Structure 1
Amino acid sequence: MARNPKSGSGAVSEATKTEAAKIAKATQKPGQTKEQTKLIAQGIQKGIDQYKKQHKAKSRELDKQRKKYQIHNSTTADESEITEPQETGSGSKLPWILLILSWLLFAAYITLA
């Protein structure tokens, strides 16, 4: 089977080619030949292609970091769910102790005064 010449690392999309041609024509100087404009368009294509590759690499790296962060957070969330009921159990005793203590102190104040 023959490979498609457009597929692979050397292929540039039609959208990139037309965008590069538009930019090259927009910046064309008086007296500039079509060949020079074509070479400028090819340079712009390479720049756009390189930018897209770098952007994809950054996107992949950020996606990997995001997935690691989500996995890490899900495991710590599971651990915190286990410890939360213990904290609420001991935390609910404190208001009752303070209430009883305040009533005892109030009663002692009334009896001594």
Structure 2
Amino acid sequence: MTKVTSNETQNDAMKMAKSTQKPGQTKEQTKLIALGIEKGISEYKKQHKSKARDRDRARKQVIKAKARANSDHIDTEQLIETNPKAHYLPWGLLVLSWIGFINVYFFQ
């Protein structure tokens, strides 16, 4: 299966091949050189697209990680803010238990 390249790439390859053409070089040789240049351009574009996709993927992962970290931080803050009296429960139970111990040992 042959991959079709764009006309722009073919024209650029032919221009480069003609600009480097040596005296006595046939048209067929120039076309072969143009095909080689065309393959090189296509390969370069393919690699460039791949690198751009990888950079974009990495950028999106960083953004998602920051969003997750921010949402975790906000969730923790919201838990603390939604029930500010929650820290009174353990202290209240401690005071009640001490009152119970004092009552048992001193007022029997």
Quick check: 1:27 aligned with 2:36? no
Whole-angstrom CA distance in 2 between matches of 1:76 and 1:29: 62
Q: Which runs of 5 or more residues in structure 1 are unaligned?
A: 1-7, 87-113
Match of 2:68 in 1: 75
Q: Which residue number corresponds to residue 16 of structure 1?
A: 9
Q: Counterpart in 2 of 1:60? A: 53
Q: Which TM-score applies when normalising by structure 2?
A: 0.65
In structure 2, what is the Cα distance between the partners aligned to 1:22 and 1:70? 43
- Which amino acid in structure 2 is aligned with residue 18 of structure 1? N
The superposition leaves residues 88-113 of structure 1 with CA deviations (integer Å, 9 ceiling, x where unpaired) of: xxxxxxxxxxxxxxxxxxxxxxxxxx
Q: Which deviations, in whole Å up to 9, do the C-alpha atoms of 1:52-110 show, x marking residues without a partner?
A: 11111111111111111100011112234456798xxxxxxxxxxxxxxxxxxxxxxxx
* Structure 2: runs of 5+ lacking an equivalent: 81-108
Matched residues, number: 79
Task: Give the secondary structure class of the aligned counterpart of 2:3.
Answer: coil
Alpha-carbon displacement from aligned partner over 1:4-63 (angstroms, at most 9, x marks no partner): xxxx86010000000000000011111111100000000000000011111111111111
Percentage of pairs with the same residue: 49
For residues 57 and 70 of structure 2, the distance between their equivalents in structure 1, rounded to whole angstroms, comes to 20
TM-score, L = length of structure 1:
0.62
Counterpart of 2:101 in structure 1 is none
Partner of 2:29: 36
